[in-house]
Chains A and B, each alone.
Chain A
Amino acid sequence: MKDLLRQFRDFFVSLQLTVVLLILSLLLVFVATLDQVNLGIWAVQEKYFHSFFVLWKIPGTDFPVPVFPGGYSVGGLLLINLISAHLYRFALTWRKLGIQLAHGGLILLLLGELITGLLQQDSSMRLEEGQTKSYVESFREHELAIIDRSNPDYDEVVAIPEAVLADQKSLQHPKLPFQVNVKAFYANATLQMGDPAARPGQPVATQGIGTRVQVIPLALTYKPDENNLPAAFVEITGPSGSLGTWAVSPVVGMPQTFSFEGRTWEVVMRLKRHYLPFSITLHQVTHEKYPGTEIPKNFASRIQLKDEAAAEDREVVIFMNNPLRHGGQTFYQYQMNAAGKMSAFQVVNNPGWLFPYVACILMGIGLTWQFCLGLLGFVRKRTAANPV
């Protein structure tokens, strides 16, 4: 039994394993990079890096076979190898200090990436000059929002995420005086003018835009410049029966409203929102070009940051390579339409953002230390060999 354990240990702390894993990761990264030409960056990440195995479909069938270890397998094993070798061989000596630091930094970097991968939230904020927003929107995920518009001062919103809609069930919420019955959900669909009755098998919308359009389901897209646009048929049911069925999709441009018990409600499928405890107002966008060219010199947005809790109300300029960090969120200049006076920020909430910085410092010091130590030893040996 002990023998078996020792074999396990020797396997996991061995340099051979390190070399094999490194070569596997080299091949994985190389092939994944080449495949970006075909699949685009998002699909490649899913297929090669965010997976335990790279799957390959036997041509002509839908049957996937694992052909290569994926990013999680290789990365995970490397991490195990690294940590176990580190623990097993750990010795606090000056000679090994650099190696320890460098590998410690590497462990930190990989852990940081894991944390980032699990916890990072990417969203966007799109503003026109003069507009104020206190929420960010998801890039890809949608939600069904049911909004009570009755109070002129504020709206009350109940949002149902895409994943819940996909279950196609009946939903009840304490803030809603009615039931929301999801009769059908399509992860990607488009709307088209035409008679809804012409599409048998689909629920029939009795209210709003749905009475005049058809919902055409589409295949899911993975292209970096395309989004999946979900659509759903939702029926609102009060205590005394159905109020009607609506077709909802982010493609619908106009609000779909109805009245119930003296209050006005709106039902809308939109990009998932996340509300912030502060607000941002866009004052001005600037898009500078180099004289006589179309080469962009700078994109800058002058904004007002207002956070009552933090007692902050100040002007900030966000431009390339100069994001705004506030309240755990980081705002990056993302897109700009100077003619339309519109600016979009990428908003990132990444609790692990500091990891790479610390890792970089550790690895830099460690490797420099080791390199200088080696160089010193080399010079000493040489002077000893050829005394002048």
Chain B
Amino acid sequence: MKRFLPLLVLLLGAAYLASTLRPEKNPTDFDLAGFGQVPVLVNGRIKPLDTVARTSLLTLQGRQRVSSPETGTLVNSPAEWLATIFFNPTKADDLPTIKIESPEVLTLLGLEEKDTRIDYDSAVKKTFAVLGFLPSSKSRFSYNQLKAKLPELDRQGRLAEPVEAQLRTPFQKQVITVRNRVILYLQLRLAVQMPESTSFLTELELFERALPAGIAAVLARQKNEAHDENALRVMKEMADRFAYMEQLGHLRLVPPAAGDTDPTHWELTGTKLLESFGTGKIDPTVMNYARLGEAWRKGDTATFNQIVGTLHDDIAPRYPEAMRKSDIESRFNAAGPFYSSMTLYVWAFLLAIVSWLKWPQELGRAAMWLLALAFVATSAGIFARMWLEGRPPVTNLYSSALFVGWGAVFLCLILEWIFKNAIGSVAGGLIGFATLLIAHHLSFSGDTMEMMRAVLDSNFWLATHVIIITIGYSATFLAGFLAAIYIVRGLFTKTLDKATADALTRMVYGIVCFATLFSLVGTVLGGIWADQSWGRFWGWDPKENGALLIVIWNAVILHARWGGLVKQRGLMGLAIFGNIVTSWSWFGTNMLGVGLHSYGFMDAAFYWLIAFVASQLAIIALAIIPLEKWRSFRTAAA
């Protein structure tokens, strides 16, 4: 039985992965999966509404699920939430979808203890909340809860905005974050209709009928002739409302007229409605969205599904390439390969740890298979992103996190294949999980497939310099984690025998050599790119310096080793310090907020960086404990 364990684990893992690939089923008769596939142009690219729903939810509230701690899930899918905020804002305004972390901002918005307290219905949940396993206060609120105090939030935001980003106080940063969330919420609310309108369709139909008379009145007024005051007033009123939609809108839902494939001609609903004053007609796509809203509110699934089909199929033949991508992207969103990889990495890590204590052969192999499976899923995800973007894998901080993990796990698989001692699986599971977690948190800032700024728009350099340097990061991290395994295992367990210790040393040494090669070549290639685009090879920019630090540190490790300045334990300590150097180069340099590379500025991450550095220093401190106190070596000596 034990013999089949690896196979069984592999099959279970594969079945789990396969289950994520099933096409999404609609929980109700509304074709929300189809709705999620309708394309829209936003932030410079055509993408499915599903992506808009997911990235908006991540930005608004840090997760894709809409739920409250008391009543559980409130909406079945991100697409359903998007349909609700588009077509039935009254209902959406009650959903807790705007996240507020800061107590000061809560006070500013007049939210008191009674608003944030969670009343769990069961005693078990109450106990868990007291113990800290469940949240004890709410952090997500509905638009209706915030509405009354929004002018104050806006005022505070305006006060904070002129302050330079690095100089803002935590309160100012939070105010700006929350204000941006509210703005995004409002933008979505009026993407297809005026939110206060009870039936936008009826209103539009009436408007279209009134248009000829209205236009006549406006023209007559311009010539100072007699005109219908009432018709003029209606026109003015509608124009003001449409202009508001245009001013605030950000989703370009309306494709250009047939035959026109210029992506810059996608328009906002508000713009199209304003154009109708000139054409005398309302754009068919705008009308379709209004009908879709009417069907949604009335529960008319047949009409809804038919219009969804029309919206999708109208555009499909005109942008075959973009539509194929948009369809795949919504499938990719639904499958969530990085999420399933995270789960698999955790299992691989746990199995590998257990294998050091029991059944090393079988559990070790099972762990390796799971790691390989997770690696395949991550690779598939990264390839899908590359195909969707038409770019090399690393284009921003988010994708660098994916790729650092990918590279490290790849190296781990090679190590595991050679050494078969589960160390590669432990390190791979840990780094794979950690980097995907980092990526997940980086995704809160919006769409992760954003457009490349002009200076970065070079696939050649993205494919060479960026890839090579990122692999350098991966390898340096991997060396550091392997070293940490050496110290923790040696100090706290008896499992680090001489063979394992020597094997780990060879692994760390080999990986450091690999890291030196990649970070050095990557850094020099970066200099050459800088020479190509800015006219200087080296400019002492923080990110450049960060890369240089990694190269120098790896060189220090190698020369210290060659010069006999360090032995096994010293090598491990130096390699762990490499983690600090790399994390600083990766994130710390961006946090300085200066230089040409500061494209990924983050705040909250700063504390995590500090915590990570502290943890690594702690492990280095552990390494300094005299060897006779180490459990593994104590027994060996005895």
Tell me the A residues contacting B by CB distance below 8 Å.
14-16, 18-19, 22-23, 25-26, 29-30, 32-34, 36-37, 40-41, 44-45, 49, 102, 109, 112-113, 116, 120, 122, 289-293, 295-299, 319-321, 323, 330, 332, 346, 348, 350, 353, 356-357, 359-360, 363-364, 367-368, 370-371, 374-375, 378, 382
In the complex the two chains form, is A109's CB within 8 Å of B535's CB?
Answer: no
Q: Which A residues are CB-close (under 8 A) to B277?
A: none
In the assembled complex, the Cα of A32 lies from the Cα of B552 at a distance in Å of 15
Partner of A346 from B528, B535, B555 at Cβ < 8 Å: B535
In the assembled complex, the Cα of A323 lies from the Cα of B514 at a distance in Å of 33
In the complex the two chains form, is A49's CB within 8 Å of B457's CB?
Answer: no
In the complex the two chains form, is A292's CB within 8 Å of B42's CB?
Answer: yes
Check B27 for interface membership: any CB of A closer than 8 A: no
Supply 19 further A-B pairs (C-beta < 8 A) apart from A22-B555, A22-B556. A15-B559, A22-B552, A23-B556, A26-B556, A30-B549, A33-B589, A36-B595, A41-B595, A291-B252, A293-B44, A297-B44, A298-B457, A319-B454, A320-B455, A321-B532, A332-B533, A348-B535, A367-B516, A371-B513
Q: How far is the CB of B262 from chain A (nearest CB, A)?
A: 8
> Can you list, as one digit per residue, whether each of B38-80 has a CB less than 8 Å from chain A (1) or not (0)?
0001111100000000000000000000000000000000000
Check B361 for interface membership: any CB of A closer than 8 A: no
In the assembled complex, the Cα of A32 lies from the Cα of B546 at a distance in Å of 11
CB-CB under 8 A for A295 and B545, given A22-B556, A22-B559, A45-B540: no
Q: Which A residues are CB-close (under 8 A) to B533?
A: 320-321, 323, 332
Q: How far is the CB of A354 from chain B (nearest CB, A)?
A: 10
In the assembled complex, the Cα of A112 lies from the Cα of B535 at a distance in Å of 14
Nearest neighbor of A352 in chain B, beta-carbon distance? B537
Check B603 for interface membership: any CB of A closer than 8 A: no
Nearest neighbor of A16 in chain B, beta-carbon distance? B563
> Can you list, as one digit per residue, whether each of B572-605 has a CB less than 8 Å from chain A (1) or not (0)?
0000000001000000010011110000000000
Check B461 for interface membership: any CB of A closer than 8 A: yes
CB-CB under 8 A for A29 and B552, given A22-B559, A297-B454, A374-B510: yes
In the complex the two chains form, is B535's CB within 8 Å of A332's CB?
Answer: yes
In the complex the two chains form, is A374's CB within 8 Å of B513's CB?
Answer: yes
Q: Which A residues are CB-close (under 8 A) to B307?
A: none
Nearest neighbor of A370 in chain B, beta-carbon distance? B513
Partner of B534 from A29, A332, A359 at Cβ < 8 Å: A332
CB-CB under 8 A for A292 and B556, given A323-B535, A374-B510: no
Check B506 for interface membership: any CB of A closer than 8 A: yes
26 A-B pairs (CB sep. < 8 Å): A16-B563, A22-B559, A29-B545, A33-B540, A33-B545, A33-B589, A34-B592, A36-B594, A37-B166, A41-B595, A113-B537, A122-B536, A290-B451, A292-B44, A292-B264, A292-B266, A293-B43, A295-B451, A297-B457, A321-B458, A323-B533, A330-B535, A360-B524, A363-B520, A370-B513, A371-B517
> Can you list, as one digit per residue, whether each of B499-528 has a CB less than 8 Å from chain A (1) or not (0)?
000000010001001101100110011011
In the complex the two chains form, is A368's CB within 8 Å of B559's CB?
Answer: no
Partner of B562 from A15, A32, A382 at Cβ < 8 Å: A15
In the assembled complex, the Cα of A67 lies from the Cα of B631 at a distance in Å of 43
In the complex the two chains form, is B454's CB within 8 Å of A320's CB?
Answer: yes
In the complex the two chains form, is B510's CB within 8 Å of A375's CB?
Answer: yes
> Can you list, as one digit per residue, whether each of B396-409 has a CB less than 8 Å from chain A (1) or not (0)?
00000000000000
CB-CB under 8 A for A33 and B263, given A19-B559, A41-B539, A293-B451: no
Q: Which A residues are CB-close (under 8 A) to B332?
A: none
In the complex the two chains form, is A122's CB within 8 Å of B556's CB?
Answer: no
In the assembled complex, the Cα of A80 lies from the Cα of B525 at a distance in Å of 25
Q: How far is the CB of A221 from chain B (nearest CB, A)?
A: 17
Give the most central of A33, A45, A297, A360: most B CB within 10 Å.
A33
Q: Which B residues are CB-close (under 8 A) to A291?
A: 41, 44, 252, 263-264, 266
Q: Which B residues are CB-close (under 8 A) to A41?
A: 539-541, 594-595
Partner of B536 from A34, A290, A296, A348 at Cβ < 8 Å: A348
Partner of A360 from B517, B521, B536, B542 at Cβ < 8 Å: B521
Q: Which B residues are CB-close (under 8 A) to A30?
A: 545, 549
In the assembled complex, the Cα of A364 lies from the Cα of B546 at a distance in Å of 20
In the assembled complex, the Cα of A346 lies from the Cα of B455 at a distance in Å of 14
In the assembled complex, the Cα of A95 lies from the Cα of B546 at a distance in Å of 31
Q: Which A residues are CB-close (under 8 A) to B455?
A: 320-321
Nearest neighbor of A112 in chain B, beta-carbon distance? B537
In the assembled complex, the Cα of A13 lies from the Cα of B43 at a distance in Å of 57
CB-CB under 8 A for A297 and B451, given A33-B545, A37-B592, A122-B535: yes
Check B444 for interface membership: any CB of A closer than 8 A: no
In the complex the two chains form, is B457's CB within 8 Å of A320's CB?
Answer: yes
In the complex the two chains form, is A18's CB within 8 Å of B563's CB?
Answer: yes
Q: Which B residues are CB-close (under 8 A) to A26?
A: 549, 552-553, 556, 581
CB-CB under 8 A for A382 and B418, given A34-B592, A291-B252, A299-B454: yes
In the assembled complex, the Cα of A296 lies from the Cα of B599 at a distance in Å of 14
Q: How far is the CB of B5 from chain A (nearest CB, A)?
A: 24
Check B298 for interface membership: any CB of A closer than 8 A: no
Q: How far is the CB of A122 from chain B (nearest CB, A)?
A: 7
Q: How far is the CB of A98 from chain B (nearest CB, A)?
A: 10
**Interface SS, B side:** helix
In the complex the two chains form, is A16's CB within 8 Å of B565's CB?
Answer: yes
Nearest neighbor of B419 in chain A, beta-carbon distance? A382
Q: How far is the CB of B241 from chain A (nearest CB, A)?
A: 22
In the assembled complex, the Cα of A25 lies from the Cα of B545 at a distance in Å of 11
Check B538 for interface membership: any CB of A closer than 8 A: yes
Q: Which A residues are CB-close (under 8 A) to B549?
A: 26, 29-30
Q: Which B residues are CB-close (under 8 A) to A29?
A: 545, 548-549, 552
Give the most central of A26, A357, A359, A368: most B CB within 10 Å.
A26
Q: Which A residues are CB-close (under 8 A) to B510?
A: 374-375, 378
Q: Which B residues are CB-close (under 8 A) to A22?
A: 552, 555-556, 559
Give the most central of B252, B535, B541, B560: most A CB within 10 Å.
B535
In the complex the two chains form, is B592's CB within 8 Å of A18's CB?
Answer: no
Give the most central of A32, A44, A348, A356: most B CB within 10 Å.
A356
Q: Which B residues are CB-close (under 8 A) to A33?
A: 540, 542, 545-546, 589, 592
Q: How far is the CB of A369 from chain B (nearest CB, A)?
A: 10
Nearest neighbor of A109 in chain B, beta-carbon distance? B524
Check B531 for interface membership: any CB of A closer than 8 A: yes
Partner of B540 from A32, A293, A298, A332 at Cβ < 8 Å: A32
Partner of B542 from A36, A298, A367 at Cβ < 8 Å: A36
In the assembled complex, the Cα of A112 lies from the Cα of B45 at a distance in Å of 42
Q: How far is the CB of B236 from chain A (nearest CB, A)?
A: 28
In the assembled complex, the Cα of A98 lies from the Cα of B513 at a distance in Å of 12
Q: Which B residues are CB-close (under 8 A) to A122?
A: 535-536
In the assembled complex, the Cα of A368 lies from the Cα of B266 at a distance in Å of 50
In the assembled complex, the Cα of A18 lies from the Cα of B594 at a distance in Å of 31
Q: How far is the CB of B472 from chain A (nearest CB, A)?
A: 11
In the assembled complex, the Cα of A323 lies from the Cα of B536 at a distance in Å of 12
In the assembled complex, the Cα of A225 lies from the Cα of B520 at a distance in Å of 31
In the assembled complex, the Cα of A36 lies from the Cα of B457 at a distance in Å of 27
Give the most central of A34, A290, A368: most B CB within 10 Å.
A290
In the assembled complex, the Cα of A122 lies from the Cα of B537 at a distance in Å of 13
In the assembled complex, the Cα of A374 lies from the Cα of B514 at a distance in Å of 10
In the complex the two chains form, is B528's CB within 8 Å of A357's CB?
Answer: yes
Check B453 for interface membership: any CB of A closer than 8 A: yes
Partner of A298 from B454, B531, B565 at Cβ < 8 Å: B454
Q: Which B residues are CB-close (under 8 A) to A296?
A: 453-454
Q: How far is the CB of A292 from chain B (nearest CB, A)?
A: 5
In the complex the two chains form, is B521's CB within 8 Å of A367's CB?
Answer: yes
In the assembled complex, the Cα of A44 lies from the Cα of B592 at a distance in Å of 14
Q: Which B residues are CB-close (under 8 A) to A14?
A: 563
In the assembled complex, the Cα of A16 lies from the Cα of B528 at a distance in Å of 31
The 5 closest A-B pairs by CB, nearest first: A290-B44, A15-B563, A348-B535, A291-B264, A367-B517
Q: Which A residues are CB-close (under 8 A) to B461?
A: 321
In the assembled complex, the Cα of A323 lies from the Cα of B458 at a distance in Å of 13
CB-CB under 8 A for A295 and B453, given A29-B549, A41-B539, A374-B510: yes
Q: Which A residues are CB-close (under 8 A) to B594?
A: 36-37, 40-41
